[in-house]
Structure 1
Amino acid sequence: MVYEELDPEGAYHRQREGWRYIDVRTEQEFAQGHPEGAVNVPIFFMGPAGMQPNPGFLSVVQRLFPTDTPLLVGCRSGGRSARACELLASKGYRQLVNIAGGVSGSATVAGWRQQGLPWSTQLEGVSYRALTSG
């Protein structure tokens, strides 16, 4: 495995140590609330035929974060973020954590919100639209 996996509480401790949080959920999911300090770079967009890959995912992450940046990667429950970690590792990122359980939790891990970790609905400067405009 080319990335580490931590539960939300472990990821929160890393975030407090300076790791950056990328939320790879859709823009709509992110707008409903997200871990405080996260930036939104969706790995997929919702299209008429379901989830479609975001062709700009890697280029946006590479523009925002050099490959030596320690990154926490989260989604709803951990699946999309695991895929994002694999893609990022293939481009030279080496300090990667997939957040098991994501924001909503899984059958075995309580999510970020369920664990009462800092939550935000603030979009200014952290939404995908803000990160990719001008």
Structure 2
Amino acid sequence: MAPTLSSSEAVATVDVHAAKRLMCSGHRYLDVRTVEEFNKGHLENAINVPYLFFTPQGREKNSKFVEQVSLVCNKDDHIVVGCQSGMRSLPATVDLVNAGFKHAKNMGGGYAAWVENGFVVKKPKGELQ
């Protein structure tokens, strides 16, 4: 069994420009923000599996995160993992790599950087992009 990663050292992080190129070449995009954040706007064809939940007690990790990702992605899929700014997607990517997802990459800067670069996002009807 592969050694477990305890930090982000062995996880590849790509910027939004590289992430966009990867997604154009067939990588899937996994958005690990909350459902509420995701519903306010997200990348086209994004898959949403929250990594953390915001509770009255604070942030709580989704204990079924890897299990839920396994329902929508295969361990051989090429996946770009993103969140709002890159803070949640990094540990989420570490967890996925540790669980055997060999081709998971973290998107540095997250959704905020994607929007700042003027890349297309999908927003609820009635909201400007």
**What band does the TM-score fall into relative to the shorter chain?**
0.7 to 0.9
- 2:115 maps to 113
Aligned match for 2:68, one of 49, 54, 60: 60
Partner AA of 1:29 in structure 2: E
Residues 81 and 99 in structure 1, CA contact (< 8 A), matched pair in contact too? yes
- Pairs within 5 Å for 1:1-134: 1-104=9-112, 111-121=113-123
The CA deviation at 1:37 is 1.6
For 2:53 and 2:84, locate their aligned partners in 1 and report how far apart those are by CA, in whole Å: 14
Where 1:86 maps in the other structure, the secondary structure is helix
For 1:3 and 1:13, locate their aligned partners in 2 and report how far apart those are by CA, in whole Å: 18
Identity of aligned residues (%): 34
Alignment: residue pair count:
116
Runs of 4+ off more than 3 Å: none
The structure that has the greater radius of gyration is 2
Where 1:116 maps in the other structure, the secondary structure is coil
- 1:132 maps to none
The CA deviation at 1:35 is 1.3
Where 2:80 maps in the other structure, the secondary structure is strand
For each residue in 1:47-88, what CA deviation from the matched residue of structure 2 results, as whole angstroms up to 9, or x when unmatched?
111111112211110111111100000011111000001100
Q: CA RMSD in A?
A: 1.1
The CA deviation at 1:3 is 2.2
- 1:127 maps to none
Structure 1 unaligned blocks of 5 or more: 105-110, 123-134
TM-score, normalised to structure 2, is: 0.86
For 1:2 and 1:68, locate their aligned partners in 2 and report how far apart those are by CA, in whole Å: 17
Residues 3 and 95 in structure 1, CA contact (< 8 A), matched pair in contact too? no
TM-score, normalised to structure 1, is: 0.83
Structure 2 unaligned blocks of 5 or more: 1-8, 125-129
For 1:2 and 1:24, locate their aligned partners in 2 and report how far apart those are by CA, in whole Å: 20
- 2:4 maps to none
The CA deviation at 1:2 is 2.9
